[in-house]
Structure formats: C-alpha cells, structure tokens
Copies of this chain bind each other. A is one copy, B any other.
Amino acid sequence: MEDKAQIQEAIKVQGEVVRKLKSEKASKEQIDEEVAKLLELKARLGGGDDGKHQFVLKTPKETLTGKYGEDSKLIYDLKDQGGELLSLRYDLTVPFARYLAMNKITNIKRYHIAKVYRRDNPAMTRGRYREFYQCDFDIAGQYDAMIPDAECLKIVHEILSELELGDFRIKVNDRRILDGMFAVCGVPDDKFRTICSTVDKLDKLPWQEVRKEMVDEKGLSEEAADQIGEYVSLHGGMDLAERLLQDPRMSQSKQACAGLSDIKLLFSYMQLFQVTDKVVFDLSLARGLDYYTGVIYEAVLTQAGVAPVALASNDAQNGSEESVSVGSVAGGGRYDGLVGMFDPKNRKVPCVGVSIGIERIFSIMEQRAEAAAEKVRTTEVQVLVASAQKNLLEERLRLVTELWNAGIKAEVMYKKNPKLLSQLQLCEEMGIPLVAILGEQELKDGVVKLRVVVSREEVDVPRSDLITEIKRRTSDA
C-alpha cells in the first residue's frame, strides 16, 4: 500500500493541471492524457474511509479516456448538463469492464448486442457507419490459462460457419509476443504502443508503406524496422510457436516466451474444439487498442468478392466505396487490466472476449440475397381475413380478433370495402399463405372459406374448427 497522503497530494496537483489545461482550452489529446493520469492516481488511492478523496465511479464520466490509444480520435463527445465531458460509447468492452468494477462482479460470461458510436467516415456499402451495432461475447474470471480464450475462438468459428459466409480465416497473436518482438528488435519502450498501431495497418497497407510510417513518421531505426519486417511475415500453427521458442533472438524475451507457450496451449485446446482448420498464428496481427494484455485475434472472410480491401486507403479523404469489401468481421482478445483500472482498489478481473461485426456480416448477407434474387419474406403473417362482398368490415374485425386471441398471426386490410382481388393480391405481395374469406353465404352456413394462396385450393371450414385448421396448415408449411 502506498502512502495515502502522498497520493492525495499528487491528486490535488494533477487536478490543478487538468483544470488549468481546460481553462487554457488545451487540445483534447493533452487534456485526455492528464485526465487519464488523474484517474490512475485516484484508482491507486483505493477505497479507504476518508470519503473526501474517495474515487467515486460514475457511469459516464471519464470512463473512455485513455483506453483506446490512437483510436481515441474516433470517440464521439458530448456535454453533460453539469458541463462534464461525456462520450458516446466507442465499443462494448470498456462499458462491460466498468460494469464489472462498479458491481464488484468477479466472474461472468455474457453476450451483449447494442449500438456503439465512432466519429469515422461512413462507407455504407462496406458496412461502416458512425452508429452501428456490435455484438460482444466475454468471459470474465480467474481461470486456468487459455481455456476461456479457446472457447471464444470456438464461438467465432461456430458463428462464421453457421452463417455460411464463405471461407474465413481467424488470425491469432499475443500482445506479449508483439511486445517481446519489439524489445528484441530494438524498439524503445516508449514507442511500443505507437509502433504496434502501425503494425496493425498491415491488413490494409503493404509492408513497404508500414515500414515507411515506422521510420519516417515514428522515428524508428531502419534496422529495427527490418527486423520487425522479418517477424511479421511469419504465420503458421503450433509448430511456428514451437520454432519461435527456439529462435535465438525471440527466446531472449521472457514476455515473448510466455506468449508463445500460451499460443501452444491455445492450439492444443483448439484442436479439441475442432477449429484449427481455420485458425492461423500470424505475427503481423497487432490490433491497435491499448487494453489488450494477452491473446488477440481477428477473423476475416477470404472468399473472392468479400475479401478485405487489401491496399485500399482507409483515411477520411478517401470517400470512394467498394462493393462487398468488408474487412474483418470479428475481433477480440484478452484484457486482464481493464476492470482493475475502474476499481478503487485496483482489483483485477481477467477477461477475454470477442466482438462480432454484425453490421458488416448483415451487409454481406443482404448483398448475397440480392445477388441470388432471393425473395425474403419480411413478415410472418399466416392468414389474411378477407371478405367477398361489401359491408363486412365488422365481420372481418370480429374474426381477426378471434384469430389474434388464439395467437394466430392474422391481418385485415384497413378498408371498409376492399375488393376480393386486391385482398388476394396483397397475399401474393406479402407471401401470406392463407386467406380466410367471409361472405353472406359463409356467415349463413357458419363456415369460413379457407383459400391456399399458392394452389388456389378452397375449402369451407366450420367456424369452430378454423383455428385448429389454420394452425395445422401453417405448422406443416
């Protein structure tokens, strides 16, 4: 335990720094950085009894700051009524970690489908929007190594297989292997994160451009860049992990070795889960987000027509939209430190999770359905209640009420006196399989004429048997 008074003093000073920067209207990046430091100090202070300086965790305030590295510029900001800085959530992972910390939950497994927001340049056909759904699955808790991690990959494999999106590849790497690799290649400690986000661009840019950014923009030595270049061209399976554990340079990094051993373990579990056919250990996979601490992974579709746009520039200036190029469709990894960042006593809850890009997946599925000229029914209506003559609106409403009350999906046209023909046309358009037709004669006889739209077959069904008959015919279909 650190000296409380000392931290409290540091918080006071840091608070002044933040206030000063805000009053001077300093850049957002600068303020964010200092707020993150303040947050860390508050976290270190712990829970203690002296309420005055206690770290009060509020749902929106400061939560997103300092979690996303260079992606932070994509966070949507807005202002609270009290003038505090607020943001729209950037993903579901940080809010999940905040939720665990606030509710002192130490283990949970859950999925969450909800909207997230990015100040990105939208590209509709690529399925990239400013407001979009994410679908996350996470396992939180202190467990034996790599078992939940392997389950996450099993789930990605299962989803992408069952949706029949064509062939796919799941790339796997480990943040510790990347960090170890950077260290043995001679990247200075303070450049790990920024070089990591440059490596992350390898799925969109060729190595030469990535190398140029490292050397020209990030100031890395050419020698270090070339050494990185050799490693990031490697991909394979458990054998590659084995080989790298023997690599004279790589094996010097304890971190890298820990990562490589875990990759081996992960592959052994993945074999049992029957997913290794699609998984590749790929040293070029980086993922830009700061919060990952261990295994990372990303799934891409590899079939012609839906492959990621290799070499396409992704910057805000490039407004052109490619058809069916959707990039990665799932990604995630292990983030053991994030929950602790929100906990006043810095209690860690190890987590691993995956985010499914459902909007991207939907845009592919839609384009496929369109290409195949499939007619997709947009409603589940089982029967239209229709009339053969005029002045039967009341009878139609009475009958549809009977059907609704019995749990049958039924519709009537909202017209007093619709023509029978237009009622039958509506069924064709909407793909409604049955029509329950009322006429003077049917009412007199206590029957309903049930018509099968496709075959045009018609039978008179006693009113009392109608519900059973509709249920029988629609459960057959």
Contacts and interface: CB of A to CB of B under 8 A. Distances in A.
A52 interface: no
B414 A147 contact: yes
Contacts of A415: 143-144, 147
B274 A416 contact: no
A414 B415 CA distance: 60
A272 interface: yes
Nearest to A396: B272
Interface stretch (A185-193, A206-214, A398-406): A398-406
Interface in A135-163: 139, 141, 143-144, 147-148, 150-151, 154, 158
A86 to B, nearest CB: 9
B404 A154 contact: yes
A143 B273 contact: no
A30 to B, nearest CB: 20
Contact of A272 (B78, B147, B272, B398): B398
A320 B44 CA distance: 33
B148 A397 contact: no
Contacts of A272: 394, 397-398, 401
A412 B401 CA distance: 48
Residue among A141, A147, A274 with most chain B CB within 10 A: A147
B77 A78 contact: yes
Contacts of A88: 78
A393 B271 CA distance: 13
Given A81-B119, A158-B404, A397-B269, A414 B141 contact: yes
A349 to B, nearest CB: 14
Interface in A270-302: 272-274
Residue among A88, A114, A151, A272 with most chain B CB within 10 A: A272
Interface residues of A, number: 33
A231 interface: no
A78 B81 contact: no
Nearest to A274: B401
Contacts of A78: 76-78, 88
Contact of A414 (B114, B115, B144, B416): B144
B274 A405 contact: yes
Contacts of A114: 115
Nearest to A139: B414
Contact of A273 (B148, B151, B158, B397): B397
A405 B139 CA distance: 20
A235 B143 CA distance: 63
A414 B154 contact: no
A412 B272 CA distance: 13
A379 to B, nearest CB: 8
A144 B76 CA distance: 45
Nearest to A397: B272
A321 B150 CA distance: 45
A139 B413 CA distance: 12
A119 B150 CA distance: 43
Contacts of A150: 397
Contacts of A274: 401, 405
A154 B78 CA distance: 40
A150 B141 CA distance: 51
Interface in A406-426: 412, 414-416
Interface string A15-35: 000000000000000000000
Residue among A81, A114, A158 with most chain B CB within 10 A: A81
Contacts of A393: 147
7 contacts: A76-B78, A115-B115, A144-B415, A147-B397, A147-B414, A272-B398, A274-B401
Given A147-B414, A151-B414, A272-B397, 8 more contacts: A78-B78, A81-B119, A141-B414, A144-B414, A147-B415, A148-B414, A154-B401, A154-B404
Minimum-distance CB pairs A-B, first 4: A143-B414, A78-B78, A272-B397, A147-B414
